[in-house]
Chain A
């Protein structure tokens, strides 16, 4: 595959007979034989994903009040970074443009008052860097600040996920255990040249580990030796959908706000703080919402299928088979006023099929929830 970017683990994927595909310009494993098996391994045991295509970006700088990285992030993102008060704490947030649409969703880690790390989506990385740099230049100029932004392309990232992720991670890296064992979910620690975060995109316990690219193959092999199975981005997608986690570009984008994407819980509209896009969020009507669907007939829900409700039409943003529920599920954007328990119809390959509006997540921690 010409012109595709490769992660430091490409050789490991080939050795494991991965089926490699173009994913946002990266040559990435979609599965290593069976996407369904890989899905179940993560719900029941432990699997690992190469997510080195995602980009960590370090925001650094010193300064007096009003000129710090925290001050800049207060303005840049919709969630409130003042929730980050202890070292290593992570925060999920959307980054909006002035109109309230989502530029990207990201995770921000607080290391100290001079260093925050932001992890952005692979497909948005170039756009995000350009956007943040424009905002940062403006901030530095207006505030007389001297903050810097450093993309960390040389870092690989491996996600180890599943109920046995912790035990197998210690088996692979005994030296990491003391520092990382007591870590709470949504926290990170720096262990030597590794950045270990108890985060993920599967709805299971697990870790996302950033490390130098030249150390990644060795670490991957150590995890393999400890019995962690490689899993592809196919399983990652069905796992995140079951866990009710949005995918940027499908469930939200620059034309949708977080409030109509099931992400109101990540938007801080209560504090006095002003952030980019806040005015639009307060002004715009909330005509649409994201809901979970569970198909009540034999068939398969897919992205972009039309949804018919008593309040008008909507559209499936992410639809697939749920391996844990053994039925088809979806996230769909539908008119406001549709509620959990309602029945809607979906155009499935020309047939109107009934689907129930359900609360999501659909499955987490090994269990079906709907």
Chain B
């Protein structure tokens, strides 16, 4: 079973989400997702200022094996993109929860309540394995 921190929120498409003190939310992909994909070799983040709808394709991670879309967990505006993870995609393999990809200024912070908590995500991962 992979690591699923209790202080984060999760999506069915394997993004993790963390609410910051300034009201923005930071987004990355889960340890389980990086394990499925294997060695990361390419990350493309959304441009800062882009308006995102919930569930919209907005970033790409590619491993040696395959490309995978990353979806906006909630609606909002892209506030920042992590250039370090674009320069070193392998940092996602090393620590998926430290290697955040981009942050969003949410249209409505309450939208976070619609995401899964750690227990629900663990059950989701389990259900996909069968």
Contacts and interface: CB of A to CB of B under 8 A. Distances in A.
A349 B44 CA distance: 12
Interface string B68-80: 0000000000000
A349 B57 CA distance: 12
B42 A35 contact: no
Interface string A10-38: 00000000010000000000110011100
Contacts of A298: 42, 44
A99 B38 CA distance: 40
B64 interface: yes
A31 B38 contact: yes
A300 B65 contact: no
A320 B90 CA distance: 16
B41 A321 contact: yes
A302 interface: yes
Contact of A35 (B60, B64, B67): B64
Contacts of A202: none
Interface in B46-68: 60, 62, 64-65, 67
Interface in A282-332: 298-300, 302, 320-321, 323, 328
Instruction: Name which of B39, B42, B67, B93 has the most chain A CB atoms within 10 A of its CB.
Output: B39
A321 B64 contact: yes
A35 B66 CA distance: 13
Contacts of A320: 64
B67 A300 contact: yes
Contacts of A321: 41-42, 62, 64
A36 B42 CA distance: 13
A151 interface: no
Contacts, number: 37
Given A299-B42, A321-B42, A35 B65 contact: yes
Nearest to A237: B64
A349 B67 contact: yes
B67 A302 contact: yes
A238 interface: yes
Interface string B12-51: 0000000000000000000000000011011010000000
A234 interface: yes
Instruction: Name which of A30, A35, A299, A300 has the most chain B CB atoms within 10 A of its CB.
Output: A300
A177 B67 CA distance: 44
A34 B38 CA distance: 7
Contacts of B42: 298-300, 321, 328
B62 A35 contact: no
A300 B37 CA distance: 15
A298 B67 CA distance: 14
B44 A35 contact: no
Interface string A225-252: 0000000001000100000000000000
Nearest to A320: B64
B41 A300 contact: yes
Contacts of B67: 300, 302, 349
A323 B90 CA distance: 12
Contacts of A36: 39, 41, 64, 90
B82 to A, nearest CB: 15
Contacts of A349: 60, 67
Interface string A29-51: 01100111000000000000000
Given A34-B39, A35-B39, A238 B64 contact: yes
Contacts of A323: 64
25 contacts: A19-B38, A30-B65, A34-B38, A34-B39, A34-B93, A35-B38, A35-B39, A36-B41, A36-B64, A36-B90, A234-B64, A238-B64, A298-B42, A298-B44, A299-B42, A300-B41, A300-B42, A300-B62, A300-B67, A302-B67, A320-B64, A321-B42, A321-B62, A321-B64, A349-B60
Interface of A: 19, 30-31, 34-36, 234, 238, 298-300, 302, 320-321, 323, 328, 349
**Leading 4 A-B pairs by shortest Cβ distance:** A321-B41, A36-B39, A300-B62, A300-B42
Interface of B: 38-39, 41-42, 44, 60, 62, 64-65, 67, 90, 93
Given A321-B62, A349-B67, 17 more contacts: A30-B65, A31-B38, A34-B38, A34-B39, A35-B38, A35-B39, A35-B65, A36-B39, A234-B64, A300-B42, A300-B62, A320-B64, A321-B41, A321-B42, A321-B64, A323-B64, A328-B42
